[in-house]
Amino acid sequence: MATNPLRSTFRTPRLSRRFVPVWQRNFLVWRKLALPSVLGNLADPMIYLFGLGFGIGMLVPEIGGVSYISFLAAGMVCSSTMNSASFEVLYSSFSRMHVQRTWDAIMNAPVELDDIVFAELVWAASKALLSGVAILGVIAVFGLVDSRYVLWLLPLIFLIGLSFGALGLVMTSVAPSYDFFMYYFTLFITPMTLLSGVFFPADQLPAAVQFAASLLPLAHAVELARPLLLGKLPDDILLHLAVLMAYGVAGFWVALGLTRRRLLG
């Protein structure tokens, strides 16, 4: 009986612990430039946080009973985590897959493509976690963090990294060049950042736009992170976690299938 090519391409991922050495390889390469990398990931969100936080904060004293800069801090943690994971799986993973042919070299060892793609995803989430923790440290110094539930933010940041890392890998799997990624940022990442409650409450938007925003993963990340950062328990925790996990699982499955089709024919 003939095998269905589509079913074979998008078959269930076959993962093993062999993804760990691939993750370690990426970590060792990154470690050589760790400090500039972390500082680079800190610069952009810190500029937004203190520029907008103090600037707009002079015009908008409070939002929901907290200062504007405290409101903005959670949005910056989530958006910077999203950006860190996205940049890693887009530009760095694309380089390893298409330009440097690192993945081809690794597959000469007894390592399957499934493990390589999964290692890229976990590495992107790990790097996003490092960036998120660095930002948390800075805002904690300025007294913008309530310590009651702050540790719960660590697994949440990792989950956000997984979700957006998986979505970014879908783009990487079909990208012909680096220029392709500008469409992803312009048409998806930037509008989502503006609609998901990062800079202002999403309930200020028209009802139709609020509904569209509620389907986006960043909105659910912010709904979880902001209360935790302010020392409160979020509402609908399971719903928000389920949406983030669904994006992560579905994104990885699609990205892996498209990468199989691209590299293995």
Question: Could you give the count of Cα atoms lying within 13 Å of 89 in the half-sphere of its Cβ?
Answer: 38
Contacts of residues 110-114 at CB distance under 8 Å and 24 or more positions apart, as own/partner, are 110/18, 111/18, 111/21, 111/22, 112/14, 112/16, 112/18, 113/256, 113/259, 113/260, 113/263, 113/264, 114/13, 114/14, 114/15, 114/256
The pLDDT score that the predictor gives to residue 60 is: 78
Q: Do 150 and 137 meet the contact criterion of CB atoms below 8 Å apart?
A: no
Determine which of 25-29, 44-48, 108-112, 138-142 has the lowest per-residue pLDDT on average: 44-48
Q: How far apart are CA 41 and CA 134, in angstroms?
A: 9
Nearest partner of 124 among 166, 64, 94, 183, judged by Cα? 166
- Mean pLDDT over each residue of the chain, to the nearest integer: 90
pLDDT digits (tens, 9 = 90+) for 9-21: 888 898 999 999 9
Contact 243, 158 (CB under 8 A): no
Going by pLDDT thresholds of 50, 70 and 90, the confidence category of residue 102 is: very high
Distance CA 10, CA 166 (A): 15
- Higher pLDDT: 1 or 182? It is 182
Residue pair 75/230 in contact by the 8 Å Cβ criterion: no
Radius of gyration of the chain (CA): 19
Separation CA 261–CA 11 (nearest Å): 12
- Residue percentage of the chain with pLDDT more than 70: 97
- Spell 30-68 as b/e; 16+ CB within 10 A means b: beeeeeebbeebbeebbebbbebbeebbeeeeebeebbb
